[in-house]
Structure formats: structure tokens, C-alpha cells
Amino acid sequence: MPASPPLTFPRGFVWGVATAATQIEGAARRDGKGPSIWDTFAGRPGCVRHGETPEPACDHYRRFRSDFALMQRLGIRHYRLSVAWPRLFPEGRGRPNQKGIDFYCRLLDAMTAHGITPWVTMFHWDLPEALEAEGGWRVRATTDAFGAYADTLVRAFSPWVRHWITLNEIVCFTRYGHGGGDKAPGTRETEQVINQTYHHALLCHGHGVRAVREHGRRGARVGLADNPVVPIPFTETAEDIAAARAAFVAENIRVLDPIFRGRYAPAYLRAAGRDRPLVARGDLAQIALPTDFLGLNLYTGYFVRAGRKGKPERLPLPPGFPRADSPWLHLMPQALHWGPRHAHETYGATSLYVTENGAGYDEPDTCTEALPDLHRREYVRQCLAELHRAIAVGAPVRGYFLWSFMDNYEWQDGYGRRFGIVHVNFKTQRRTPKLSAAWYRAVMQSNRVV
């Protein structure tokens, strides 16, 4: 029997890894950094597993040079990272902390020296606690503070950075943070307040785009990293695909409609009623400033079929459906096919990047050799096969960033759940590449699924 043809990706396809500042840097109070809402949230009893905080994390603040040397050895050439807002502005606004700026200049310089291209996220959930005390995402003043922050970091880091991401996963720090969920700041607000936090986050996205256009280097590119809910058609028939497409719009209308269409959809406004956000003149034009790409954080989804009169019918998952150790992460590689297709075919997105994808497992705290994480390798391999299939039918996916480079502080799960392709012993800070790291290196080098 002849071998199957290799799943080769387009020439120039970007392969990388991703992390976030709060999850890896540590040094939570060093060199003038102020506390973030995650420092506060983690210190509140019962909010984070075993009361673990972001203070040690991966000690990347001191170890970034050796971490970049390891990336280089593993063949990593693109790295998505985030800047910590409270490291640059301990109070959220006012005079910037020069020591914080200097740290990221050293970090970006070292990254460049190791042949690694930075993709910088402006905001990955670490709102300065000082701004939270003033109302945080609930109040419009936070958008002004973000605008000044975005201007500062783009001016400071443009010599190194051409690829910018404004915000990461708006739903997580708005609805999950303010709707009684398990994300900081962990409050329970009214539906109107939650809708207003969304609106303020979208305004900050617009500020980030504006800052790149005004202060970025020639050829600078900017986009958002969204984590859309991905409905997967139960069968690939016209009826089920149409039902999944309708469900995608209904699920993601809150973020993608204003960004791509410059409006809040009538269906959303009708459903929100008196709880709709307050919108000032010019807000929607700022939110819809043209971007260069859309980032998709794709982990899971749900199955849909056409029900009565073609309406989407969500299928419940039976007990025992495959999932990672992260309880929310049901393993549905098809999300890597349908997420990009829905975004392209529904909103006309012409340049897409998978800005996160991976799996979290409960793995040993210590290891002395490559951990045989075949479960992670198999899941990611299936995801890449589905992504390749999406590209083959016209989805304009230009790159893929694996989450995560190394085990890190996994938010409310503390240090117990691991997503990395590099194992971290959090007591000794020893890094040990897992089996998946060697496999991913071969994928990046060959530009195909191996």
C-alpha cells in the first residue's frame, strides 16, 4: 500500500510557541512592578489551587537568555509573548517605570540575538490593581489609560517588534472575570456591567491598533487574539454546516461583529435590551479600525446539527468523551478546521493565525529525561491535520503558535496543570524538553506534519 502524501503546509508558514507574562516571568514586585489583579486574586483564599501565586512562575525575568538559547536549540523561530502592563505602569497610568521598559528592551534584544522573531501581545489579563481599584474594566477611564500604555510600549519596542496583538481573549477577562467565573478579578456584576466591560475592552483594542499605526515601524502588523466558540457540524452536509455557521455567528457576535462590521448586531442589541452597553460617538469607528490579521486561540468546540427548520441543535457530550486533564478541554481537533473556516467564510477574515492551541495535563513535578507526553503529541498532531485540511479548502491561515513553550502558572489551576512542551521543575527551575518538543521541532523544520 503506498504511503499517504505528507501534510505539507504553505511556503512561508509561521511556526511558533506562545506564553504570557504573568504565567512565566515571576518577579511580581521586582524593579518597580506594581501588582496586577491576578496577584490580588491569587492571594484571596480559595481562588487558586493551593493558594499558589504568580510570584515564582518560571523565573523568566532572570532566566530569559537561557530560555531563548533553549528555544534556539529546539528550532523555534517565532515567539508570542506578552508585556506586563503593571511592569511598565505600576499604577496603570502616569509616569512609566523605566526599569520595566529596560527589562523588555534587554529581553527583545536577547531574542533577536538568538534569531527569534517576537509577536508581542499588549494585554494578556494582567490589569494593574490600581486601575481595578478605580473601577477597572467597568469604567471608561481604563480605556484612556490603555491608550497611553499602548503608545508607550509601541514607541519603546518598535525597533524590535513588527507583529503586534492588542488583547488576548476578551471574554475571559470580561464575562469570566466579572460574571462570577473563575478569572480575576472574580466579581459578580449585572449583565449591563458585563456588556460595558466588553465595550471598554473593544475600545482598548482600537487604541492598540491606532498606536501601531501611529508609532509602529514600517511594515508593522496588528490584530486581535480571540478565542471564539467553535460549533462543529455533526456531518459535513450543507444543512449541518449551515447550522454550525449560524451558531458561530450567534456565539461570537459580541466581539467579532463590531470589529469586522463596525456595529453591534441588531440581534445582539435586541437580546441585550436595557442591558446594552453605553456607546459614545466615534466608539464603533475606533473599534473597527482595519487590522492586518485575526488571531484564533483554538482548543475545543461543540457539535451541532440542523434541527427543526434548520435551527442549530447542540449535541450533548456523552460521559467518557475524550478530554485533557483540564476539565474544560474536551478534545475536538475539528475546531482547528472549522474555527478558521467560520471566521473566513462568515466575517471575511483574509489573514488568520492560530495564536494558541495545545493541551493541559497533570504531569509529574520532576523529571530527569524527556517526558513521553504522547497524549499531547497525538492531540496536537490531529489538530494540525485538521488545520491543514482547512487551508486546503481555502482558509487563509498563515501561522500556528503552540501553547505553550514551557509549563507555567496556569491561572486558577496554579502550577498543577501543565501545557508546555518543555517541563519545568518549579522548585529548581530546571527545564527539560518533553518528547513533544522533539516532535514539534521536526514539524517546524520540515514544514509538515510528521
CA–CA distance, 160 with 217 (Å, rounded to integer): 9
Exposure string over 50-86, b if 16+ CB within 10 A, otherwise e = eebbbbebbbbbebbeebbebbeebebbbbbbbbbbb
Contact 89, 128 (CB under 8 A): yes
Contact 124, 97 (CB under 8 A): no
Partners of 313 in the β-ladder = 305
CA–CA distance, 22 with 179 (Å, rounded to integer): 22
CA-closest candidate to residue 335, choices 294, 374, 282, 390 = 390
Q: Say whether 169 is catalytic.
A: yes
- Which H or E run includes 312? strand 312-314
- Which residues neighbour 369 within 8 Å (Cβ) at sequence distance 6 or greater? 432
Contact 173, 136 (CB under 8 A): no
- The β-bridge relationship of strands 397-403 and 448-449 is unpaired
Which residue among 132, 356, 363, 386 is the active-site one? Answer: 356
DSSP state of 359: -
CA–CA distance, 130 with 124 (Å, rounded to integer): 17
Which residue among 25, 52, 132, 169 is the active-site one? Answer: 169
CA–CA distance, 33 with 86 (Å, rounded to integer): 6
Contact 302, 232 (CB under 8 A): yes
- Residues carrying an active site annotation: 169, 356
